[in-house]
Amino acid sequence: MSLTFDNKVALVTGAGRGIGRAIADSLGKAGVTVICVSYSESSCGAAAQAIVDAGGKAVAKAVDVSDVTSVAKASEELLDEYENVDILVNNAGITKDSLLFRMTEEDWTSVIDTNLNSCFYWVKGLARPMTRKRWGRIINISSVSGIMGNAGQTNYAAAKAGMIGFTKSLAKELAGRNITVNCVAPGFIKTDMTAKMAEAALDKVLPMIPLKRMGESSDIANMVAYLASEEANYITGQVFTVDGGMAM
């Protein structure tokens, strides 16, 4: 089945690497104009250039998503240029793992700011024109950690569970304006984020995955592309785990 996107503009955070890059690539291939956001200019620049080189439309914007002022300024600039961002994918995220008694306040706050508060900032910045257009897609990338919990990740699991509550509440608020809001909760996906995991930790995780392997960024991108398309117009307030069966 081919997916339908009519002249849509998408903003993908964390588009410089990993899952966000795969999401940006797949939307770019589908003809969507993609605004690639990441922390560093070089990483979102390379992502946008790759989409353009493949014949698509993309621009790069370096924004610290954990900073409310930067997100508000970027949102204003983008709405001046594009009038409307139709598809918002809140994907940027970080981990700063440690057991609670060793976790610093900085590690707690930066993970909540980057993963959860950023969603609030971007929706505040970009959703109002969606309500006027009576069309919008908001897709938040959560995690199985937010569903199952994970020792060493109280900060991350709290942020990712918070994204689920945020998604369901926002879906109820925006449904009357034909804006859908959904979460995708990846399991263990091969990216820079999981490359930092120790071999021993990975050996513990693999037996917990019924499909017995880690996922690819494209597995998440495929689900996001579907949720962003016209074809998903009757789906809202849901959490889709893409995790090889881990959280069933």
The DSSP-derived string for 13-53 is ETTTSHHHHHHHHHHHHTT-EEEEEESSHHHHHHHHHHHHH
Assigned token pair, 192:
């820079």
Contacts of 45 (CB under 8 A, 6+ apart): 60, 62
Which position among 35, 59, 141, 171 is part of the footprint of ligand NAP (CB under 6 A)?
141
State the nearest-atom distance from the C-beta of 50 to ligand NAP, in Å. 13
In whole angstroms, what is the distance from residue 241 CA to residue 223 CA? 10
Token reading at 228: 């962003």
| Binding test (CB under 6 A) with ligand NAP, winner from 121, 135, 166, 188 | 188
The reply to whether 20 sits near ligand NAP by the rule CB under 6 A is: yes
Piece of 4-12, 36-44, 122-130, 233-241 that binds ligand NAP (CB under 6 A): 36-44
Residue range at the interface with ligand NAP (CB under 6 A); choices 15-23, 96-104, 165-173, 222-230: 15-23
Told to check if 93 binds ligand NAP by CB under 6 A, we report yes
CB atoms closer than 10 angstroms to residue 113: 18
* Residues whose CB falls within 8 Å of the CB of residue 110, separated by 6 or more in sequence, listed in order: 66, 94, 96
Q: Are 5 and 110 within 8 A, CB to CB?
A: no
Please pick, among 39, 82, 121, 156, the residue that the annotation labels catalytic. Answer: 156
> Minimum Å distance from CB 163 to ligand NAP?
9
Tell me the C-alpha to C-alpha distance, in Å, between residue 177 and each of 112, 145, 204, 232: 29, 31, 45, 15
**26, 33, 38, 153: which one binds ligand NAP (CB under 6 A):** 38
Question: Could you tell me how far CA 117 lies from the centroid of its own chain?
Answer: 13
Which C-beta is closer to ligand NAP: that of 99 or that of 202? 202
Q: What residues contact residue 162 under an 8 Å CB cut-off, 6+ apart?
A: 112, 116, 146
Name the one range near ligand NAP by CB under 6 A: 4-12, 33-41, 172-180, 204-212: 33-41
Active site residue 156: yes
Determine, following the binding rule CB under 6 A, whether residue 182 of this chain makes contact with ligand NAP: no
Nearer to ligand NAP, 22 or 130 (CB): 22
CA dist., res. 158 & res. 139, Å (int): 18
Total residues interacting with ligand NAP, rule: CB under 6 A: 30
Q: Using the rule CB under 6 A, is 64 a contact of ligand NAP?
A: yes
Q: Is 246 in the site for ligand NAP (CB under 6 A)?
A: no
The verdict on 92 binding ligand NAP (CB under 6 A) reads yes
Catalytic residues: 156
Contact residues toward ligand NAP (CB under 6 A) are: 13-14, 16-20, 38-40, 43, 63-66, 91-94, 114-115, 141, 143, 186, 188-189, 191-194
